[in-house]
Chain A
């Protein structure tokens, strides 16, 4: 009871304390407690104790107990389950087996019998005290696949031994290396299904299994829900690996392994010797010891291998060991998979393998083309020599099947991929190149085209394209649909061809449901047959100049109308009914002459027929005569570049056609270069002709056709392009007078005109011979003194140029111009005649005037002879009465304003006796004295260049100025004036004014006065003195004269002895002719006639 009590207590406490669902803990605590209680009893009393019960399958309990060794030997036991139907068990051992009891507590009574006596021990046993320990497993298999370093485990879970569904926890541990490191621990759950089940587990090792020993153990735990006792893990079950390393001789592992690029790998070398180095490819690796005769290396992120793989080499002292690893890629998905047929017999599927796998030889990618509908497949045969980017496989077509579902499977040791394509093969026809192209003629415009196209196209229509090429019509493509054949021979007719034409044919085909064109077949040339010429030749006729024959012209038929080689032409002519044939004219000739007389006025019909080997063309007809046209005008036309445009009005009467014929205007009759016909409804034409030349005049004739008869409508002269004349007009000077020239010119010949003449340009210019500026200059650059006349009246042939100067040279130039430009000019030099009338007049008038003056003078002299005699040649000269000076004055001065000869009353005292000297030559008969030498002005530097100016030496005047001379005029009171002729006639006012200014500075020339004036003040003083002395004293101081006017020629000539300077005009007298001073004479004080005035004026000239 004590035991029971404790047990219950413990269980109660244990239940309270235990963790939820922790049967392990419950079981452990119960066993410990039961053991402790029984131990205490047994040892105390020497009887069975520590009863323990376990079960492997929940059906049988296996119980055992401990017994004191002293009483154990020779002891028999009787185990009875109290109050049960089980009979007691007699045993000599300390354990017994009983069927599993119900959940209630059961009293077990063990009676032990031995020599020393008997004892009875009682135990309370319930299911809760029983432990569930799973039995040893039935291992079916544990195999190692060394090539993949994988362990495969297969076992039976013995589930039939357990009545219920139970969860099972499996635990597998793999140990490796000598020191039994844990390589992996795997735990997983299964469920017992009430029957035996086989379980699998596999594991791939990081390192090759050959590298070191591997140990595998397994245990398991059954979590039986309906069992209330303790549940325990089974014992570890060691497993033996079946299968052994392949051969002893392989020292390095793994061997020849194919791995994906980027994997991590372990290589090991198993040798007795010490491994010194290891290398992967060319890379040295650090060694990892595995066990006493095995070392490894670890390679991370393996890169792609060369073709023969990457070598892994371990080196020992005496040898080297190695293996090869092939790192590459699994096959890429095939790209651009395409299936088509060329002959509907086999299907060609091609593809691009995509990314290279890096694996070759036996490791290269295998391709299998699988057709889903038929279930057939084709394997790719690698052709190393014809490896290119695209791969292809040929699949034989299945009759009656049009739709194909292809799957291309690619695989290599690292994996596989596939691509799918579904095709209707009738829509994927890419025919072979058509061959054996041949042409057979049908007629002149149609042929048969034959070709061979291998393949069985019986079920489809072919769509073919025929390329027809000829030099005449160019390239043409014709598409045809032909029924596909099994026999491969096709022929089609090709029509609408041009006869007698060399054609080049070629063909390509596709299916009617277009996929791809085949390549073009080879070309085939063929000349189509000849046909009858379709039209008669284009004809025209011209009468000969004498009207005795008509020449019929025709043009060769164009290629498309000749339809063959024209062999000859038949020309015939005749009146209404009767027809005469000329002989056959062979082809190269395109005209014929028919002897007819225009004056017969018979209108013949001429007809021309072209013939080739097949037949004759329809005839072309033309009448021999024209309908006359009275009002015909000559028109002018200028073309546009290389052609000429004609316009005419629409005329209902013109029923056949219009003809424009043309010829070079300089040619003689019959004149015909070419003609061109235009339909009756046309109203204009552009005539273009390759041989038209610029600057050449052509005659054009426009004919209209009424009732098959032609009528000349217009006659036109024209140029395609006008040019400038290429010759100058030939001109001559017909007449020359003193003021005019008459020029006459000739026409320029038409061929030199090169355009319609629009006028002439006539240039003339005054000038000496050889200095013409006309020629060689363009008109716009000609100088303004070149005069030009534009003659636009082209009928004018003469020109009179008037208003010329007599006896003058003129340059003349004549040019003709057209709209094309101005032609060259012809130049000429002409001198006008002398003007005789003018000359006569010019002589007569002065003579008449001279005579008249002479007569008048004579008359006057005669009538005044007494006075003259008295005045000039008195018997007794009286200077007082002499008028000579006055006469002189009037003649010399010519102006009443000048009073220089007005003499002051002569003071005899002032007149000194003049020595008789030889100064006379200086005095001529007139009072004017021409001085051959320039008078140099006072300013020496200002040299007067005008030496030629005639300076007259005015009459020597000796003035004695007394009255009213202002201070400023003092310096000029008595002066000798040099004056030139022009100055002499100037009004006196101006010199006076200037005198005022100039004399102030003492600048005046005062040759006869020794007046060393140095300043204004002195000047004034001197002036005062002068008033007193007031006299001209030329003789007074010769030295002073010389000094004052050193440059004076007079002073030089006269030297010191000259004293007669300034003597008045007198022919004979050697005296000074000084008239008495005229008091009444105005402005006598310092008039123009003074030396001062002269010198003052001089610079002003």
Chain B
């Protein structure tokens, strides 16, 4: 039902500059990943706000924030800047790839949760589905960059572990909140990741 992923693909095709100064095999993936991340960045806050709006008070209260909520199997995007800056390209990409892999899985979980809690909220459900597809898309782009950089790609991990069926409604709401929030944070970080690579490899 989601037609939006087509547009970033188109966008990336259009925006991809043909630069002679860098290997074609590296420029394209970086640009694609960067552009997609940039596009995703525009929608992340909308997704988070839409999500919270459907969860009722206090989630839907203006300015709601609960940074203390974390998910053990979803790596947080927050990282000390110098630590992040000091990471090697491969390691940085590896973390991003792992995060978006986990995010894509979690977004599927959140979609299912919301189909139970808010079955008639088609706006939210379609945004979640779109976000999941974009996360998968960005993950693929990162893998392309890693391939181009020659970074070895480990097998994708099952970050969710055993099916978390027993979660209460409140846990599911919180889980969704953390996922959509981290999706935004990780997208921001991916933009920075890709900008760094772009500066480095694409002239």
Contact = CB atoms under 8 A, between A and B. Distances in A.
Interface in B96-141: 114-121
Contacts of B119: 307, 360-361, 364, 384
A324 B58 contact: no
A322 B177 CA distance: 14
Nearest to A363: B116
A1068 interface: no
A311 B68 contact: no
B55 A311 contact: yes
Interface stretch (B26-34, B40-48, B168-176, B186-194): B168-176
A719 B55 CA distance: 91
Contacts of B66: 320
A319 B169 contact: no
A252 interface: yes
B118 A311 contact: no
A301 interface: no
Contact of B118 (A307, A312, A319): A307
Interface in B34-70: 54-59, 61, 66, 68-69
Contacts of A322: 170, 174
A323 B171 CA distance: 8
A306 interface: yes
Interface string A311-328: 111000011101110100
Contacts of B58: 279, 282, 311, 313
B165 to A, nearest CB: 12
A324 B69 contact: no
A324 B170 contact: yes
B68 A309 contact: no
A308 B117 contact: yes
Contacts of B116: 361-362
B118 A324 contact: no
B168 A361 contact: no
A1019 interface: no
Listed residue (A308, A318, A322, A362) with the most chain B CB atoms within 10 angstroms of its CB: A308
Interface in A1036-1081: none
Interface residues of A, number: 30
Interface string A1006-1029: 000000000000000000000000
A311 B168 contact: no
A324 B55 CA distance: 10
Contacts of A623: none
A310 interface: yes
A308 B120 contact: no
Contacts of A250: 168
Contacts of A281: 56-57
B168 A320 contact: no
Nearest to A322: B170
B71 to A, nearest CB: 13
Contacts of A279: 57-58
A310 B169 CA distance: 10
Contacts of B69: 320
A83 B58 CA distance: 86
A802 to B, nearest CB: 111
B65 to A, nearest CB: 11
A256 interface: yes
A215 interface: no
A139 B112 CA distance: 45
A309 B169 contact: yes
Nearest to B168: A255
A282 B170 contact: no
A384 B119 CA distance: 8
Interface in A558-589: none
B120 A360 contact: yes
B120 A307 contact: yes
A311 B117 contact: no
Contacts of A387: 120
Interface residues of B, number: 24
Contacts of B169: 255-256, 308-309, 323-324, 326
B36 to A, nearest CB: 30
Contacts of A312: 170
A312 B57 CA distance: 9
Contacts of B114: 308
B168 A309 contact: no
A361 B173 contact: no
A320 B59 CA distance: 12
Contacts of B54: 307-308
B57 A323 contact: no
A306 B56 contact: yes
B121 A282 contact: no
Nearest to A283: B57
A744 to B, nearest CB: 104
Given A311-B170, A324-B173, A361 B115 contact: yes
A309 B56 contact: yes
Contact of B68 (A252, A255, A256, A319): A319
B30 to A, nearest CB: 40
B168 A308 contact: no
Contacts of A309: 56, 117, 169
A324 B56 CA distance: 10
B67 to A, nearest CB: 11
B68 A307 contact: no
A309 B69 CA distance: 20
A282 B57 contact: yes
A586 B173 CA distance: 91
Given A319-B68, A323-B168, A311 B120 contact: no
A313 B64 CA distance: 13
Contacts of A364: 119
A558 to B, nearest CB: 65
B162 to A, nearest CB: 14
Nearest to A279: B58
Interface in A341-376: 360-362, 364
A93 B59 CA distance: 74
A312 B174 CA distance: 12
B168 A324 contact: yes
A323 B68 CA distance: 17
Nearest to A250: B168
Contacts of A306: 56
A250 B119 CA distance: 25
Given A308-B169, A324-B168, A324-B173, A361 B57 contact: no
A364 B59 CA distance: 23
Contacts of B57: 279, 281-282, 311
Contact of A252 (B59, B115, B121, B170): B170
Listed residue (B55, B118, B119, B173) with the most chain A CB atoms within 10 angstroms of its CB: B119
A921 B115 CA distance: 149
A323 B168 CA distance: 7
Interface in A246-269: 247, 250, 252, 255-256
Contacts of A324: 168-170, 173
A619 B81 CA distance: 114
Nearest to A387: B120
Contacts of B68: 318-320
Interface string B79-105: 000000000000000000000000000
A360 B120 CA distance: 8
Contact of A308 (B61, B118, B166, B174): B118
Nearest to B68: A319
A957 to B, nearest CB: 139
Nearest to A317: B68
Contacts of B55: 308, 311
Interface of A: 247, 250, 252, 255-256, 279, 281-282, 305-313, 318-320, 322-324, 326, 360-362, 364, 384, 387
4 smallest CB-CB distances across A and B, nearest first, come from: A282-B57, A324-B169, A308-B117, A361-B116
14 contacts: A247-B166, A255-B169, A256-B169, A308-B55, A308-B56, A308-B114, A311-B56, A311-B57, A311-B58, A318-B68, A320-B69, A361-B115, A361-B118, A364-B119
Given A307-B117, A308-B56, 10 more contacts: A250-B168, A255-B170, A279-B57, A308-B118, A308-B173, A323-B170, A360-B119, A361-B116, A361-B118, A384-B119
